Structure 1
Amino acid sequence: MALPWALAVLSLLPLLCAQSPECANFTAKPITNVTLDWLSGKWFYIASIFRHPEFNQTIKSIDSYFFYFAPNKTEDKIYFREYQTIGDRCIYNSTHFSVHRKNGTMVRKENDTEFHAHLLLSKSPRTFMLSFFPEDKQKMGIAIYSDKPQLSEEQLNEFHEVMECLGMHKSEMILTDEKKDQCGPLEKQHEEERKKEQEGAKEE
């Protein structure tokens, strides 16, 4: 399931501005090398609203979710490692996304189907939001990601504002809970293995 993988790229801003003047306060930017550097590292999926029935069902099953981005600016790709907790299980996956700089999108392909996401940069320097199916009110979704497992009140309020701009209500929002995370041990194992590989490469 391509969810809530997420990252991508650009601008929801024209859509938002057309719906409400206050939406002009949000800043959207095209994908550049600076953007890719900024996206590098560990992120937590915090909350979302999805009206797409299949996506909505999927996010309801996710208790906790974090991931790592490793952009390759030469290839215009982002390599991606994700850790999902569903019930008492940790599910790990690694893949990559194609960066379409020209139209500002990030694309993940699964079984000959492409999934697109649009990046809305936040006022907060360490959160970002992704919009899915912004042109389809029956399927549209919005998700927020942070470099910490919880949002500040200010960050959460901004997310609520974006929801309102899209005609959604905060009662529809589905939250994750990092206290239910079961992936910590596997993440630690992977980091230790990666460290050993790096040390071995240096010795060579």
Structure 2
Amino acid sequence: MLASLALLLGLPLALAAEPPSCAPLVPVTFDNATIPGLLGQWIYIAGASRYPPHLEELKSVKHAAFSFSPSSHEDELNVTEIMRLNETCVVKNTSKILVFWHNSTLAHVDDQVASTAKLIQSDKDLLILKHLNTNFLTLSLSARMPNVSKEVLEDFKAHLHCLGFTEEEIFFTSEKDACPLPGEKMGKDDVEPPLG
């Protein structure tokens, strides 16, 4: 989730005026099908940021998978994350997603730190989040499968370019860096990397 929901792009909202060739990012207005459609496993694919603390995090995330599950509270989802930060695999299941129906936003709360995001309209197997902050925004792409089509990647990169990001400011993860699920063995030597 660090890699998928808490990332904030450093682009002043004043740059919201896009060139005419850029399609606008259309947020989803939540309905009864929205949140059930988010449940289950997601793979973090890419993101971009100019917000310094989150830019460093983007650089260190090599792979991330996360899942949303129902909580005992109606407007809350549980989050489990498995990610590789540089060479270390980390498993976290202590964060929550708060659902705000009145303005169709999601808030990721982790260790008393919250980041807010709008879900962007896209294919049901894609999760595009526009992360918000008072002065910054972020765009991240996750998918149900570890590989997305070239067209999906090109569309995502085009949105980022429209927001003023260069190719060098877009960070992608790699399936080859995936961490094993807890209890799963890695390869021929059956060595499991440390989970911290």
Aligned residues: 177
Q: Residues 187, 144 of structure 1: CA spacing in aligned structure 2 closer, same or farther, 3 A cutoff? A: farther
User: Which residue of the partner structure matches residue 180 of structure 1?
Assistant: 177
User: Which residue of the partner structure matches residue 88 of structure 1?
Assistant: 87
Quote the offset at 1:162 in angstroms.
1.4
Output aligned runs, 1:161-200, within 5 Å.
161-182=158-179, 184-186=180-182, 188=184
Contact kept in structure 2, 1:3 and 1:59, CA below 8 Å = no
SS at match of 2:161: helix
Contact kept in structure 2, 1:44 and 1:149, CA below 8 Å = yes
Q: Residues 39, 175 of structure 1: CA spacing in aligned structure 2 closer, same or farther, 3 A cutoff? A: same
Unaligned residue ranges in structure 1 (runs of 5+):
8-14, 190-204
Instruction: Please identify, of 126-135 and 18-27, the stretch whose mean Cα deviation from structure 2 is larger.
Output: 18-27
Residues of 1 paired with 2:177 and 2:111: CA distance? 30
SS at match of 2:103: coil
Contact kept in structure 1, 2:115 and 2:132, CA below 8 Å = no
Quote the offset at 1:144 in angstroms.
0.4
Quote the offset at 1:34 in angstroms.
0.6
* Letter paired with 1:68: S
Matched, 1:117 2:114: no
Contact kept in structure 2, 1:16 and 1:24, CA below 8 Å = no
Contact kept in structure 1, 2:27 and 2:119, CA below 8 Å = yes
Q: Percent identity?
A: 25
Residues of 2 paired with 1:171 and 1:88: CA distance? 22
Per the normalisation by structure 2, the TM-score is: 0.77
Contact kept in structure 2, 1:16 and 1:166, CA below 8 Å = yes
State the Cα RMSD in Å.
2.7
Residues of 2 paired with 1:109 and 1:39: CA distance? 17
Residues of 2 paired with 1:130 and 1:47: CA distance? 11
Contact kept in structure 2, 1:36 and 1:71, CA below 8 Å = no
